[in-house]
Amino acid sequence: MDVTELAYLPATDALRAFRARRLSPVELMEAVIARAERTEPDVNCLSERLFEEGLAAARDAEQRYLGHGPAPRPLEGLPVAAKDEHPIAGRICSEGSLLLADEVATETHPVIQRVQGAGGIIHARTTTPEFCCAAFTQSKLWGVTRNPWSRQHSCGGSSGGSGAALAAGNAPLATGSDIGGSIRIPASFNGVVGFKPPYGRVPAMPPFNLDTYCHDGPMARTVADTALLQNTIAGPWAGDVVSLRPKVEVPWEYQGAAGVAGMRIALCLTLGDYVLDPDVEANTRAVAEALRAAGAVVEEVSLGWTRELLDRAAWAHFGAIFGPSIGEAAAEAPDLLNGYTRAFAERAARAATETGFLEGLELEGRLYAELGAVLERYDALLCPTTAVPALAADEEYTETRLSIAGVEQEHYMAMAMTIGFNICSRCPVLSVPSGFAANGVPTGVQIVGRTYDDATVFRVGAAVEEVRPWAYVSGRRPLVGPFV
> Is residue 410 included in any domain, yes or no?
yes
> Is residue 228 included in any domain, yes or no?
yes
Burial of 455 from C-beta contacts in 10 A (0-12 / 13-18 / 19+): middle
Residue 191 in contact with residue 167, Cβ under 8 Å? Answer: yes
Q: In what order do the strands lie in the sheet with 121-126?
A: 46-49, 121-126, 79-83, 173-178, 215-220, 193-196, 429-436, 442-449, 380-384, 264-267, 297-300
Phi, psi of 71 (to 5 degrees): -70, 155
Give the tens place of pLDDT for each residue, 405-448: 999 999 999 999 999 999 999 999 999 999 999 999 999 999 99
> Is residue 145 included in any domain, yes or no?
yes
- Residue 293, sorted as left (phi over 0), alpha (psi -120 to 50) or beta, turns out to be alpha
Give how far the C-alpha of residue 456 lies from the chain's centroid of Cα atoms, to the nearest Å: 19
How high is the pLDDT of residue 361? 97
How high is the pLDDT of residue 484? 44
> Is residue 154 included in any domain, yes or no?
yes
| CATH code for the domain in which residue 159 is found | 3.90.1300.10
Give the tens place of pLDDT for each residue, 329-369: 778 889 999 999 999 999 999 999 999 999 999 999 999 99
Phi, psi of 333 (to 5 degrees): -155, 75
**Which are the contacts of 467, defined by CB distance < 8 A and separation ≥ 6?**
257, 290, 291, 293, 294
Give how far the C-alpha of residue 343 lies from the chain's centroid of Cα atoms, to the nearest Å: 23
Give the tens place of pLDDT for each residue, 87-136: 999 999 999 999 999 999 999 999 999 999 999 999 999 999 999 999 99
What's the domain count of the chain?
Answer: 1
AA letter at 42: D
Q: For 401-481, where are the alpha helices, taking DSSP H only? A: 419-423, 454-467, 471-474
Give the tens place of pLDDT for each residue, 373-407: 999 999 999 999 999 999 999 999 999 999 999 99
Over 60: is that where the pLDDT of 482 sits? no
How high is the pLDDT of residue 396? 96
* CA neighbor of 295 nearest in space, from 255, 254, 253, 259: 259
Over 60: is that where the pLDDT of 483 sits? no
User: What is the domain range of residue 19?
Assistant: 3-474
> Is residue 479 included in any domain, yes or no?
no
> Is residue 237 included in any domain, yes or no?
yes
Taking residues 270-290, report their average pLDDT.
98
Q: State how beta strands 380-384 and 442-449 pair.
A: antiparallel
The CA distance from 30 to 38, in Å, is: 12
> Is residue 480 included in any domain, yes or no?
no
Give the residues across from 240 on adjacent strands: 237
Three-class secondary structure of residue 77 per DSSP:
coil
Q: How far apart are the first and last CA of the chain?
A: 17
> Is residue 57 included in any domain, yes or no?
yes
The CA distance from 211 to 378, in Å, is: 28
Give the tens place of pLDDT for each residue, 133-156: 999 999 999 999 999 999 999 999
Residue 234 in contact with residue 444, Cβ under 8 Å? Answer: no
Packing angle of the helix pair 454-467, 278-293 (nearest 10 deg): 100
